[in-house]
Amino acid sequence: MQTIACDVCKKKIDEPLTGRTFFYFAEHSVCESCKDNLENQIKSTMRGKNPFAYEWYDKLIGDSLVKSAQRGKN
């Protein structure tokens, strides 16, 4: 069985279910709680963007992820 670790908090996800217990954003794997935190972080930026573009969203999440991962926390 493959074990995946969250790129942000480095927590291991024992039974990874894509889209349920972990998520992929711009080649990063993210656990559910980190995904929620990221989405909260970018929510205000999201409001100013219309129409919604998935490519842009994915990139924004990716950028936030890299920053979070560099800080070692969310």
Is the Cβ of residue 5 or residue 57 nearer to Zn ion in the bound state?
Answer: 5
DSSP string for 12-72: EESS--BTTTEEEETTEEEEHHHHHHHHHHHHHHHHT--S--HHHHHHHHHHHHHHHHHHT
Contact 8, 31 (CB under 8 A): yes
Q: Does 31 bind Zn ion (CB under 5 A)?
A: yes
Classify residue 4 by its DSSP letter.
Answer: E
The least distance separating Zn ion from the CB of residue 18, rounded to whole angstroms, comes to 15
- Chosen residue from 5, 9, 13, 42 binding Zn ion by CB under 5 A: 9
> Contact letters (x/-) for Zn ion, 35-74, by CB under 5 A?
----------------------------------------
Residues of this chain that interact with Zn ion (CB under 5 A) are: 6, 8-9, 31, 34
